[in-house]
Amino acid sequence: MKFLKLFLLFGIGLHAISFSQTHTLYVYDAKKKTPLENAHIMHKQKMIGYTKADGSVEINHEIEEVMIHLLGYLETTFSISQSADTAFVVPSVYQMDDDIVVYAHGNQPDINNYKNSSAHLTLDQMLDNVDGVSMIQRGAFAWEPMIRGQDDQRINLMIDGMQVFKACVDKMDPVTSYVESDNLSKLIIDKSGSGVAENGNGNSTINLITKKPDFESFKLNVSTGVRYPDFYRVISTTSEVSSEQHSFRFSGSIKQADDFVAGGDSNISNSGFGKVNLNLAYRYRAGSGNTLDISYIFDDARDVGYPALLMDATRALANMLRVQYNWNEPGTNVSNTSLLIYANTIDHEMDDYERDVANRAVMRNMYMPMAGITKTAGAKLSRNLSIAEQPVSLFVDGYISKAFGDMMMISLFDIEDMYITNLGDIYTGSTRVGAKTNFLFSENVLLKLEESLEFNRVELTDKSSKSFFEGSYGKEVQPRARFLFSSSAHLTWLLNDRLSLSTKGIFSQRQANYIELYGHYIYNYVDGFFYDGNPFLKPETTLNSEINAQYQIAENAFSVSAYYKQIYNYISGMIDEDISNQFYQFKRYDNVGDAYLTGFEVRWLSNWTRSLTTDIRTAYTYAQNKTLDEPLPLIPPVHGSFLTSYSANTFSVSTTLEWAAQQQRIAEQTSIEDQTSGFAILNFEAGKTWGNKLETRLTINNILDQYYNQHTSIGNIPESGRSFMITLSYSL
Amino acid sequence: MYKNSILKKFSIVILLVVAAISCDSSNTNTPELEASLLSTASIDGYTVELFSENNLRSGYNNLYWKVSKDGEVIELDSFSAMPIMHMTQMSHSCPYTSPEMMSDFTDYYQSSANFIMPSGEMGYWEVQLEFTTKSNEAISGEIDIEVEPSWMITSAQSSNGNVYFISWYAPETPKTGNQDLAFMVHKRESMMSFPAVSDAELEVYPYMDMGGGEGHSTPFETPAATGAGMYEGSINYSMSGTWTTTVTVMTEADTSSAVTFEYSVRAQ
């Protein structure tokens, strides 16, 4: 029991152990109480030393906090104080957090976490690097994340806990497109959806955590890079100035790319893009330890080509403001509380003026400028407290969002302009309360429970759109209001210090989103149908289960997860034959029956020497529409990667083999996808740091210049062929 | 289906009106017929005035009549108003109804006419009037009218040689969203007789040509007979722009050729 308490202490990030004035740090196994050798000691994302055989390492006396990383152990933050010199780290097989974390920079991976291997990987590439996460691609820009075969309305995408809704009905602007990797601290990914208390439902979740000021007196970094042959060029800067109580951080980047070139020197037209991203962040630190964070994100993408789509984005503009206050209440049973208030707007414009509209497959002979906008405001209160010595986290969350989208159709012939409202001023409101707690049943068995109750209301206010749905369904369209309940249980069994088993069960209800309820005449590139909403959809109910095993042997760590998700009242499009013809085919959303998804993820991480590491990953999803007795569409085949990396002092080099098998399981009734072939590509990267200030990096992707496409690539748009990229980064 | 009685709707069309609050201190509400004066004729000392909501056009029209003498509105015992088009070689009428006193505006008599063609070089329209006053005075005469062209009526010939006139009744101004869809069907028995056809079935297909011969339909409920040559259903326009609606009249022994209305749907 003492061990588990210690474990919990570390698990929730309370690191109160202090450090002696000698600044000799000892790192010990938390269970065996034995010293650990070769633990990596990190400070501000840089390696500052390794522990010796006795677990010791010398730390500069000016350093107040370090990160301890050792394969097989949970990454641990250690605050150095005057009275303690030993850090106890917990074997990673005892991972209790449901989330996996993808660190944007620097941190070494462990079996539950990943790192960004390159300073200039895009956010899309970082996500694509996580097993169980796939990216739906419509070109070179703004890939749409998919977790275990689920995307869009069945996953949560958040930025620093904010609800943000895309404005493009063609999904050109997933929320992940509005945060740049140079402004990203980490990605928190809840693949199973068990974090229902904080996330508000049982959907899989990606939360993008941006960087916050960390009270550096002065910091400046300038980076630039260029890639051949698409001449992708980027310049970015981050800076920080701070006083004792105030800290400001700024980051900005400008990106521009021409059309990319697929394998075999195949130019992919309409695939270039340009983008500006700015982020301002401020933190106030009171003497009491309370903090106030204010941050603003401005993201402006222009002339973004989407070769898989009929149109290109003229402009995608995001403005996001966020204010969060964190406070402690010493002497009470509340350890900490945070209040988040936010607002954001997304404006999206697209057109096809640069396309050959006379010869395309659908909606020929007309230009179709489209616009979309979402406006969202919300607040979230989070409290960690103790009730009868039981740790409890409470969440109260609410937001309201408005969505509008419309489209003009301007014929090449002498035909009157046409106009349609795709999203007619739709308001989505949500109020949620959530709670989670842990129970220790024995020294080796831990149960975590989470509950969430949401009141969700979606209202269509545009008179014309409302009239259309009333005519289509023959009854009055009222606001769709529902109470939705979600619950999860996570049981962890620590068999020994090498092996842990865990199992999760998740119950979740999902209200159809505003597009499924009230979207009108929205073209779906996956199946080639125009979709109309259904204001009378019943909520989907999901039962999800997952088992996970983690095993640690010497310098090797293994993890395997398997899951099964059953969805009842599955919402999908059904053909509307009354108004469909050979040129224009229509579907309406409906509750079509049941579907299920099952699959696994396997990972083997190994430190062969202090410098040489391999990371092998494989993932597979099998998804079936039970009612139609066919696979769900856009499910990636079994795929994986084999990363070998070597780092010594200021030099690092890595190669990655990425592969995917062919996908023969395709949806023929609900999509027009086709089977895709397997592929394997090889990537290379080398980096060197010069004088601790200048970093150079060379990246060669798809060395063998393979022509291939992912199964989740809309329209079978191929991936980039061989490319070379050089990046320079200078820090003061 | 959301179906309002169209006839009812249109009789109220008369656009009852709303009460204008008078400026005097008595604050009296004076309902007024919302229609414009289109033509006036003086017949044997009587003044006959013709009103309608819009300029007269080919297709269905409401006609409002007011008969007065020396400034005093006259109540009539009987009243008929038959539209006649005079052409070079011939004359013909069109589907119409006889005037009846309005219940809400007793100064006015209401009738209707489905003009089958516009005024123009081919000929001109007049309405032949006959009425009897309460003092048993029989009066007859004509009133000139101008009928503008519109898309709201068309004719179809059947394989049996019958000619059907199909009038677009509703929506008068098509707009996006759901609304009533109604047609009137009349059969030409002679140049002067156009009885209503109330026992037919209509085959209807709305369509938007988006260019190059490609396009799509929209949700609709096929209009069904409700009497007096009226067929009522609904249509749910998915977008604004130019639409066509093809109509075929089918009776027990006859099927007309398909005719097409082309019109513009505006965004709400």
pLDDT in tens, A342-400: 999 999 999 999 899 888 878 888 999 999 999 999 999 999 998 887 889 999 999 99
- Residues of A within an 8 Å Cβ radius of B: 358, 363-366, 409, 411-413, 415-421, 463-468, 470-472, 474, 520-521, 532, 576, 578-581, 583-584, 586
Q: Which pLDDT band, with edges at 50, 70 and 90, does A84 fall under?
A: low
Pairing of strands A261-262, A266-267: antiparallel
Q: Which residues of B139-166 are buried (b: 16+ CB within 10 A; e: fewer)?
A: bebebebebeebebbbebebeeebebbb
Q: Which pLDDT band, with edges at 50, 70 and 90, does A79 fall under?
A: confident
pLDDT number for residue A90: 73
Q: Mean pLDDT, to the nearest integer, of A17-38?
A: 68
**What is the average pLDDT score of chain A?**
87
Q: Is the CB of A471 less than 8 angstroms away from the CB of B238?
A: no
Residue A634: Cβ within 10 Å count: 24
**ipTM, 2 dp:** 0.75
Cis geometry, peptide bond prior to residue B171 (ω within 30 degrees of 0): yes
Tell me the nearest-neighbour CA distance from A467 into chain B, angstroms: 5
Q: Residues with Cβ < 8 Å from A522, sequence gap 6 or more? A: A169, A170, A422, A515, A530, A531, A532
The residue among A143, A141, A142 whose CA lies nearest residue A133 is A143
pLDDT number for residue A390: 85
For A521-546, how does the pLDDT look when each residue is reduced to its tens digit (9 = 90+)? 998 877 788 899 999 999 999 999 99
Cis geometry, peptide bond prior to residue A229 (ω within 30 degrees of 0): yes
Q: Are the C-beta atoms of A395 and A380 separated by less than 8 Å?
A: yes
In this complex, which of A363, A467, A576 lies closest to B177 when CB atoms are compared? Answer: A467
d(CA A269, CA A306): 9
Tell me the nearest-neighbour CA distance from B262 into chain A, angstroms: 12
Chain A residues with CB inside 8 Å of B216's CB?
579-581, 583-584, 586
Q: Which pLDDT band, with edges at 50, 70 and 90, does A108 fall under?
A: low
* Alpha-carbon B134 to chain mean position: 29
| Nearest-by-CA chain A residue for B208 | A418
The residue among A595, A551, A597 whose CA lies nearest residue A572 is A595
| Nearest-by-CA chain A residue for B179 | A471
Q: Residues with Cβ < 8 Å from B88, sequence gap 6 or more? A: B122, B123
Q: Are the C-beta atoms of A697 and A119 separated by less than 8 Å?
A: yes
Q: Are the C-beta atoms of B181 and B221 separated by less than 8 Å?
A: yes
pLDDT number for residue A12: 36
The residue among A328, A388, A327, A445 whose CA lies nearest residue A8 is A445
d(CA B73, CA A250): 83
- For chain B, 268 residues long, give each residue's pLDDT as a single digit of tens: 334 444 444 344 344 333 333 334 444 455 688 999 999 999 999 999 999 999 999 999 999 999 999 999 999 999 999 999 999 889 999 999 999 999 999 999 999 999 999 999 989 999 999 999 999 999 999 999 999 999 999 999 998 999 999 999 999 999 999 999 999 999 999 999 999 999 999 999 999 988 777 888 998 999 999 999 999 999 999 999 999 999 999 999 899 999 999 999 998 8
The residue among A205, A479, A159 whose CA lies nearest residue A298 is A159
Q: Which two tokens stand for residue B93?
A: 């009428």
The residue among B71, B79, B70, B65 whose CA lies nearest residue B134 is B79
Pairing of strands A540-553, A40-43: unpaired
Instruction: Tell which of B173, B240, B244 to mutate to test the A interface (max A CBs under 10 Å).
Output: B240
Q: CB distance from B262 to chain A under 8 Å?
A: no
Q: What single letter denotes the amino acid at residue A454?
A: E
- Is the pLDDT at A105 greater than 70? The verdict is no
Arch. (CATH architecture) of B153-265: Sandwich (2.60)
pLDDT number for residue B101: 96
| Nearest-by-CA chain A residue for B212 | A365
Chain B residues with CB inside 8 Å of A583's CB?
214-216
Helix (H) or strand (E) holding A652: strand A651-660
Q: C-alpha distances in angstroms, B20 versus A55, A358, A509, A510? A: 93, 55, 54, 52
d(CA A607, CA A515): 47
SS3 B14: coil
Residue A226: Cβ within 10 Å count: 15
pLDDT number for residue A579: 77
Q: Residues with Cβ < 8 Å from A449, sequence gap 6 or more? A: A436, A437, A438, A439, A487, A488, A489, A490
In this complex, which of A470, A532, A586 lies closest to B2 when CB atoms are compared? Answer: A470
For A383-442, how does the pLDDT look when each residue is reduced to its tens digit (9 = 90+)? 999 888 788 999 999 999 999 999 999 999 888 899 999 999 999 999 999 999 988 887
Q: Which domains does chain A have, with CATH numbers?
A: 2-92 (2.60.40.1120), 122-731 (2.40.170.20)
Q: Are the C-beta atoms of B205 and B245 separated by less than 8 Å?
A: yes
Q: Among A12-21, A119-128, A328-337, name the most confident range.
A: A328-337
Strand partners, A486: A452
Q: What is the dotted CATH code of the domain comprising B35-145?
A: 2.60.40
* Alpha-carbon B63 to chain mean position: 8
Pairing of strands A529-532, A586-591: parallel
d(CA A307, CA A352): 11
For A51-65, how does the pLDDT look when each residue is reduced to its tens digit (9 = 90+)? 887 888 888 776 778
| pLDDT: which is higher, A516 or B211 | A516
Q: Which two tokens stand for residue A167?
A: 């404005």
Chain B residues with CB inside 8 Å of A581's CB?
216-217
Q: Are the C-beta atoms of A469 and A480 separated by less than 8 Å?
A: no
Q: Are the C-beta atoms of A197 and A452 separated by less than 8 Å?
A: yes
Q: Give DSSP secondary structure letters for A19-83.
A: --TT-EEEEEETTT--B-SS-EEEETTEEEEE--TTSEEE--TT--EEEEE-TTB--EEEE--SS
Residues 120-179 of B with CB under 8 A from A: 175-179
Tell me the nearest-neighbour CA distance from A165 into chain B, angstroms: 25
Q: CB distance from B208 to chain A under 8 Å?
A: yes
Specify burial of residue A582 (Cβ count, 10 A radius: 0-12, 13-18, 19+). Answer: exposed
Q: Is the CB of A471 less than 8 angstroms away from the CB of B179?
A: yes
Tell me the nearest-neighbour CA distance from A363 into chain B, angstroms: 8
Q: Which two tokens stand for residue A696?
A: 């150079």
| Nearest-by-CA chain B residue for A417 | B241
- Is the pLDDT at A176 greater than 70? The verdict is yes
For A585-622, how does the pLDDT look when each residue is reduced to its tens digit (9 = 90+)? 889 999 989 999 999 999 998 989 888 999 999 999 99
pLDDT number for residue A555: 81
- Is the pLDDT at A13 greater than 50? The verdict is no
d(CA A131, CA B38): 77
Residue A648: Cβ within 10 Å count: 11
Q: Which two tokens stand for residue A716?
A: 């079978």
Q: Which residue has the tokens 């009885």?
A: B195
For A227-258, how does the pLDDT look when each residue is reduced to its tens digit (9 = 90+)? 999 999 999 999 999 998 999 999 999 999 99
Q: Which pLDDT band, with edges at 50, 70 and 90, does A16 fall under?
A: very low
Helix%, strand%, coil% for chain A, nearest 5? 10, 55, 35
d(CA A35, CA A17): 16
Specify burial of residue B37 (Cβ count, 10 A radius: 0-12, 13-18, 19+). Answer: exposed
Q: Which residue has the tokens 């899989």?
A: A204
Q: Do domains B35-145 and B153-265 have the same CATH topology?
A: yes
Q: Are the C-beta atoms of A139 and A306 separated by less than 8 Å?
A: yes
pLDDT number for residue A488: 97
Q: Which two tokens stand for residue A151?
A: 């995307």
pLDDT number for residue A306: 87
Q: Give DSSP secondary structure letters for B215-239.
A: EE---EEEEEEEETTEEEEEEEE-S
pLDDT number for residue A663: 96
Q: Is the CB of B177 less than 8 angstroms away from the CB of A468?
A: yes
- Is the pLDDT at A163 greater than 90? The verdict is yes
Strand partners, B235: B179, B220
| pLDDT: which is higher, A565 or A214 | A565
d(CA A386, CA A369): 55
Helix (H) or strand (E) holding B261: strand B259-265
Q: Which residues of B167-182 are buried (b: 16+ CB within 10 A; e: fewer)?
A: bbbbbbebbbbbbbbb
d(CA A344, CA A25): 45
Q: CB distance from B181 to chain A under 8 Å?
A: no
Q: Are the C-beta atoms of B80 and B175 separated by less than 8 Å?
A: no
Q: Are the C-beta atoms of B40 and B47 separated by less than 8 Å?
A: yes
Helix (H) or strand (E) holding B11: helix B6-12
pLDDT number for residue B30: 58
Instruction: Provide the Cα torsion A146, A149, A155, A161; round to 10°.
Output: -50
Tell me the nearest-neighbour CA distance from B13 into chain A, angstroms: 21
Pairing of strands A155-159, A204-210: parallel
In this complex, which of B179, B217, B267 lies closest to A419 when CB atoms are compared? Answer: B267
d(CA A182, CA A239): 11
Q: Are the C-beta atoms of A164 and A551 separated by less than 8 Å?
A: no
pLDDT number for residue A93: 54
Instruction: Tell which of B3, B151, B176 to mutate to test the A interface (max A CBs under 10 Å).
Output: B176
In this complex, which of A364, A471, A576 lies closest to B212 when CB atoms are compared? Answer: A364
pLDDT number for residue A102: 61
Q: Where are the domains of chain B?
A: 35-145, 153-265
Strand ranges (DSSP E) for A215-365?
A: 218-228, 233-242, 246-257, 261-262, 266-267, 273-285, 291-304, 312-327, 334-351
d(CA B214, CA B192): 42
d(CA B2, CA B21): 34
For A124-146, how does the pLDDT look when each residue is reduced to its tens digit (9 = 90+)? 888 888 888 888 888 888 888 99
